[in-house]
Structure 1
């Protein structure tokens, strides 16, 4: 460990001769005497002294105030914090430097505090604090707009559900209420997430405001200003990471109600009111453009004609699934954990069929393929002899 052995500034010799105590601003090598700037300026007025130069005193402290009182080290009691390690950006007492920074070039704090508040490092620190403070405040506004948007999404969803529910007979009301409850649960989860982000972001705003206020209050206390600056410089890395994490999580799950156009025709066999379609937007800004605060989303009425039911007409086996036109979906209320549909249409040479997978659900999977007539119903296509299948698990 290297510790600077430079001494504090000496007193001006000409001032001492006048019985005054003034810190020296430099050393006149020609006269070999410590001088303050005032005495040196007077000194240079003489013709013989005009070529003299005042070299700054190394290790000087500001003569604008007294030597600051050192804080005691929290790790080594009664040991003053006098040193800092530029390599690690840490301050400490002599014991700290010997133990943790013995291979570093340690410097004396008092050698750096004079003029620190007007230096580049302090200006950059204040600029970074201001930047992160503005970013946090801007992000807080986005979070609050998303908080309103969560309600707007649910309001539109609830309105769509109610409009469709009014078209069908009274015994469907129970299914509609269940669907509304599903939407409310999603809204509650979304609101909780956004409120947590809002609270977390508000704490960042308070933290950056606290940094700024503390630095402002310590502007005339160079020692404390330097200590606080080093501490805040490290804290800003955490603030930056936390801001990035909040921005990444500042997304909400949007969903729309998709009514079943054949519900009235299939009232006796239908087991669900519709489909709750979820979608996650790419960012808060895009959603905020399409949904304005305190403005209900427009309701679009769709006139649906009865669908053809080719799958129902051709079904050979249909277990635990719901058929709607050419759409097959698993029945969430089914007793079994597997849905099965077998088309009785036989494929001939060069025949083909096309299927679009809309969703594999949260925990489930899909298997599609062709099988022989005697293929077991409890075996996925592609796993048995003479069968070919595609599985969504890869």
Structure 2
């Protein structure tokens, strides 16, 4: 077999053709085919086709213009056995080094230096007894079912996307209506004020006109009375004279007072801020694509009301040889590539884990790290505090398996929990929730509860940004807020003792871990009802402080006062 294989390679090495003349091959020659006969199912070169045509005048012969039909012609090479790269050649060999099926042309071009070449008939012996081959139909059926499910999910996704568009358009139109209502009210108020001012000015004008008319008539009457007295009546003339002087004095005073107002008028100066603010806004709001990446089935495939169950768990040690104390994990998040970032409070480190939960890098922080939040493709922010009142946000970039601190922001309050939505950071201070821009500008204090020392611990924000979940450690509560800071729900439960970590998945499933009761709970989206207690102390839960759902592995990662991460496999 070896000599036959070697001769075929030597024969192919002279000239490599996509189709070789069948007649020439029978004579041991290697000639490129220019024609194909549908009836004979053979290829012919220029010389051999002449002999063929002389013998078979009624056969249909295809030339190079129809070369695509050669490969498609039945009987050339079975579709299953046809080489994808060289359609006219059959797959006859296997390259063990590259685990690849090959034809003779593939071998001569790409695998001539490979030592592990086997003939397919040799490796195919007893294939029907191979367990992998026997399981093939079932594996294909399962995979086809998964593909069909994914297709149906995408179909539903497309439908929900259109519904989402309709909902957003409705919201935009509602915003527009509110703006129109505000503008209508502003216009009405402005016109009413204008009418009031015009009425006031008009009243003043009328009073002036009445005063002028009255004085004009009084002056005319008194001078007429004086002029009607004859020359012998001097006393009446004197009296008329004195009264007229008094009236003239009154008239002059009235004219002088009126002349201080040359003209009644109104002016209007618009508020430029209205146009400036509207013109500076290009849209009614921020639109973001929300894509979830992962190699495994994503949690978004589960309905929002799906109640998960634990299918097993495993622990992974994250203690480093340089760690002086037992690990105390207060923060955990996952990067798009599957890497995990955790914060180790007692050892004052931020650690980077690979997909197998092995520590591959770390960076020290000068103070105590609390929560960590994923804010960009490969960027996280870490809450850092010390006992001297120094509170900072450290922005860390992950590049080529390395943690690099890029910038720091100082805060005027403690920073314990962190979450991000849109262009805002949500930071908790143990008793209050603040909203900041990504540049560190304070937007507002969203919520505050001074009934205890640890009433606002961890934060989780649902995917649409409309609902915020807060753990109230002091009062054994899960608080649900809207994005304006209004309280929507307060959840309590016997298993909810000293709740610390809270997480909302992209599909809206809510999980809480409780420090003192050693439990992991699933709560409904409204934050009002416990759906299930997912795990307890007997499942490996020990004083949990933070948890995260990995859509890549469909698992809950729980951490706390231990050197290990507890990974709960859920379905």
What is the TM-score normalised by the length of structure 1?
Answer: 0.26
Structure with higher helix content: 1
Greater relative contact order (Cα 8 A, min sep 6): structure 1 or 2? Answer: 1
Structure number with bigger Rg: 2
What is the TM-score normalised by the length of structure 2?
Answer: 0.19
